[in-house]
A = this chain, B = another copy of it.
Amino acid sequence: MKFNNKYHLIGNVAIGTNVRIGDRTIIYDCVEIGDNSIIANDCVIGEPLSEYYYNDKYTNPKTAIGPNCLIRSHTIIYAGNTIGDNFQTGHGATVRENSTIGCNCSIGTFSDIQGFVKIGNYCRLHSNVFIPQYTVLGNFVFVYPGVIMTNDKTPPSNLQKGPFIEDYSQISAGSVILPGIRIGKNCLVGAGSVVTSNVNDYSLVSGNPARFVKDIREIKSWESDSLHYPWMYHFVRGMPWEDMGYDAWVSLNQDAQ
């Protein structure tokens, strides 16, 4: 009863085994969906670029979405994207064309990823995040609600360069990140900050404009009185080190290389 086979496949679509697709969802030409994925009602996968409406010879770029995804209702994923396994979205998330999103990522309700973006593995973009073209996020980067990244320093211009945010960094809610800014590894950007200059590894920055406050390794948890960062030692839910601890996971990964 959950899925009524009232979706629409347009053109050449490759659907894996045990994929379930909601009502009114449209999957366009040249889309591949991995096994066991769920695409809820009213989604669009492989949304064509606007040329589609004006050029009869338009061909849709290839779109690939990995296995075990859960794409919630009203999500729109444009053509030309490559997205890994275990991908999740909230409601009404949009992902424009030609982005690459790794494995185990999530994109929250009403978040808007503008295309030509690179997102690593295990990134979590919460609700209503805006990521402009040519932004790069490493792995385990969490971006909290309402964060806005930018890509044009002298608008309007013909140069677009988004932020580059490295592994494990946390961008708190309501922050604005200026174009081309590099935020190093293991950083914490405080809520409501406006980041106008590069941030070194292990920095807490805060304010408008954001200033260095302290090394994150000096921040105490608000759960206990102990030091909280690097957070990988204290937060494991959904992380690949959930069962073994972060250090064991790191050495396992090093051995694997």
Q: Which A residues lie at the B interface, using CB under 8 A?
A: 1-2, 10, 20, 24, 26, 38, 41-42, 44, 50, 52-53, 70, 73-74, 76, 90-92, 94, 109-110, 112, 114, 127-128, 130, 132, 142, 144-146, 148, 150, 153-159, 170, 172-174, 176, 178-180, 188, 191-192, 194, 207-209, 219-223, 228-229, 231, 234-235, 237
Contacts and interface: CB of A to CB of B under 8 A. Distances in A.
Nearest to A38: B53
Interface SS, A side: loop
A211 to B, nearest CB: 12
Given A157-B235, A209-B207, A235-B158, A150 B176 contact: no
A204 to B, nearest CB: 10
A156 B173 contact: no
A148 B172 CA distance: 11
Given A157-B222, A173-B176, A174-B194, A146 B145 contact: no
Copies of the polypeptide in the assembly? 3
A78 to B, nearest CB: 10
Contacts of A148: 145-146, 173-174, 191-192
Contact of A70 (B26, B53, B130, B146): B53
A89 to B, nearest CB: 12
Contacts of A154: 219-223, 228-229, 231
A119 B203 CA distance: 36
A153 to B, nearest CB: 4
Contacts of A2: 52-53
